[in-house]
Amino acid sequence: MFLHLDLDCFFASAHRIDNTKYDNIPIAVGGRSNLNIFNKIKQKRVMSNIEGAFTSSILTSNENKTFEEYFKDPDGRLRGIITTSSYEARSYGVKTAMSVSEAIRLCPTLTILPPNYPLYHELSYKLKILLEKEIPHVQQGSIDEFYGNVDGWIKEEDILEFCFNLKQKIKDDLGLPISIGIAHTKYIAKLATNHAKPFGIKYVPRQEREEFIKNMPISNFPGIGKNYEQRLFKYGIKKLGDIKDNKELFYSWKKPGIELYNRICGIDNDKIEIIDDKKSIGLGRTFDAFEDRIEIKRRINILCRHLSFIAIKNNYKPLTYSLKIRYEYGKSNKDYVNSHRMFNESVFKQMTIEIFNKIDIHPTHKIVQLNITLSNFSSQKQTTFDMFNLENDLKEENLSKSMHKLRDKFGIDIIKSANEM
């Protein structure tokens, strides 16, 4: 028996925990590209204690910023998009990914709050700890959703009472409303959660699965995007109930088609995944088109500093450094380098700049995005280091660790290199 737990309007709900003035009114949380990482003034940043591809590792707090400070540029232009809206705001048509200006036009009384990512990550982590005490097997799917497997733990006849108590415990302990879907497979449980919202529970017994999905649009199912939807439309498949009789078609599409067919028909063998080993870490930013290569290299060095902090804090020893740049009109270029030198901030910055010099084949074009990735983690016992640079690298590694201790205590911006200023 699988559970899918999804926090209701998570970011908005987080701001309501200690602020009753936001209750029962239309509110939303907005966001914009976090470019203050490139500011030359010190910023308040913290490390996240949750991991996953769905989350950033280094978080900036905006809790004390006003609407004008966060969403308005110096020229008065309103920037940003809606990341979460309350149900009161949704009744006006305010949606995720909508521009802030359009949201205000639809709902003039809307209160839009700057994001407080440290708060969201702290609450997400607390929820994970709570769930791990209540459920034997827990998998985090995103910052605000979790899967649980209660086979052999809770009897089927007791599952509704268990979920009701769990839902209420989360509300009492964390102040967060959550909805729960229950089914015999992960994907049907996730589908059920949409019918549980807000702050409800939806149980789909095995014998009722077919009737439950019969008239649902295929776009409702997790994993069916616009392209797949249009592909299925060509075969006259518009409802999830149409899929059962098209097994031969789906199986002809090999593994992706087979997996999708089995998941929709409730016969998938997906398990709760506990991922302990991280394969890579990355950091990137999108910004207004910029041509000055000196400034671009300064930003690369800043991203490298932050990634170095994450790597050292988690004792990662990456051997592969990757950089991707994107130009103003969609063109992009990327490359990587495999290093056999001991990881340290200085060498990492140097090699990443060398990659940039190599891949920046349009030096007069403006750049709008930088993404840097560290991967191929290894232990020092498994690695043959460059003996010609070993003595210097040992010194640089010790220096990196010393700087890390200071940054860990006083903030990531406490020590910067000259090429970042």
pLDDT of residue 288: 87
With bands split at pLDDT 50, 70 and 90, how would you rate the model's confidence at 247? very high
Tokens encoding 58: 């280094």
The count of other CB atoms within 10 Å of the CB of residue 402 is 11
Q: Which whole number is the average pLDDT over 210-218? A: 94
SS3 assignment for 179-198: EEEEECCHHHHHHHHHHHCC
User: How distant is the alpha carbon of residue 173 from its chain centre?
Assistant: 24
End-to-end CA distance of the chain: 55
- Residue 336: Cβ-neighbour burial (10 angstroms; 0-12, 13-18, 19+): middle
pTM of the model: 0.79
**How confident is the prediction for the chain on average, in pLDDT?**
88
pLDDT of residue 45: 63
DSSP 8-state class, residue 92: T
Span 147-157, pLDDT tens digits = 999 998 999 99
Return the domain boundaries, the chain.
Answer: 8-116, 218-276, 280-420
What is 87-115 written as a DSSP string? HHHHTTT--TT-BHHHHHHH-TT-EEE--
Q: Rounded to whole angstroms, how far apart are CA atoms 94 and 109? A: 12
DSSP notation for 244-260 = GGGHHHHHTTHHHHHHH
With a cut of 80, say whether residue 127 has pLDDT above it. yes
H/E run at residue 180? strand 178-183
Homologous superfamily in CATH for domain 280-420: DNA polymerase, Y-family, little finger domain (3.30.1490.100)
Mean pLDDT value across residues 388-401? 68
Do the domains 280-420 and 8-116 match in fold?
no
Q: Are strands 27-31 and 111-113 parallel, antiparallel or unpaired?
A: parallel
Rg of the chain in Å (alpha carbons): 24
pLDDT value of residue 391: 65
pLDDT tens-digit readout, 299-315: 999 999 989 888 888 88
Q: 8-116 architecture in CATH?
A: 3-Layer(aba) Sandwich (3.40)
The band of 344, judged by pLDDT with boundaries at 50, 70 and 90, is: confident
- pLDDT, one tens digit per residue, over 265-309 is 988 777 777 665 678 889 898 888 989 999 999 999 999 998 988
pLDDT at 58: 65
Mean pLDDT of all residues in 256-261: 90
Q: Residue 323 is encoded by which pair of tokens?
A: 């950089």
